[in-house]
Amino acid sequence: AWLSRCVGRPRNAFRFAGTKDRCACTVQAVSCSGLHPWDLQQAVLHPEWPPMLFFSNLEMRPQGLGLGGLMGNRFDGVLRDIDLNLCGTTEGKATLESRFQRVAKHGFANYFGLQRFGSQRIRSFHVGAAILSKRFDDAVRLLLGDGSSLGQER
């Protein structure tokens, strides 16, 4: 909405290759037919321009983007709460290394993004909290849009 308002084009003039989590720091490819670089220069001067929105890799192309038009995603993950005792032993280091290699080779599922499930009513952190609390039945219900278990943690 910011981009369309600041550029002075309708929202449906912009095409995206995928959807993004509004709370994440992400990179997104966007196309807009007939939009020129000087239009973007003027847009960043608009009083409503969000300071956290940046442009890079601008180019003119004959075709616009479409949903699913890119070749996959790349995510940077942060590991927290690593058991330091595991890191301090040869066996623990080998275990961690094999797990990192498995993730590097196969990747991992992003279970927590709204874009994965399409629900705006049930936030991804509710699903994540249910999974982390081992309330798997609740997590599945939440994924299917049933919010009746919200606020009823056991």
Convert 103-126 to b/e letters by CB count within 10 Å (16 or more is b): eeeeeeeeebbbeebebeebbbeb
Which H or E element spans position 122?
A: none
- Name the band, by pLDDT with cuts 50, 70 and 90, for residue 21: low
pLDDT for 114 beyond 60: no
Residue 16 or 43, more confident: 43
pLDDT score of 119 = 46
pLDDT (average), residues 1-24 = 79
Of all residues in the chain, what percent carry a pLDDT higher than 90?
A: 1
- Digit-coded pLDDT (tens) for 39-90: 888 888 899 888 888 888 888 888 887 766 666 666 677 777 777 777 778 8
Residue 27 or 19, more confident: 27
CB-CB neighbours of 134 under 10 Å: 10
Please give the positions annotated as active site.
21
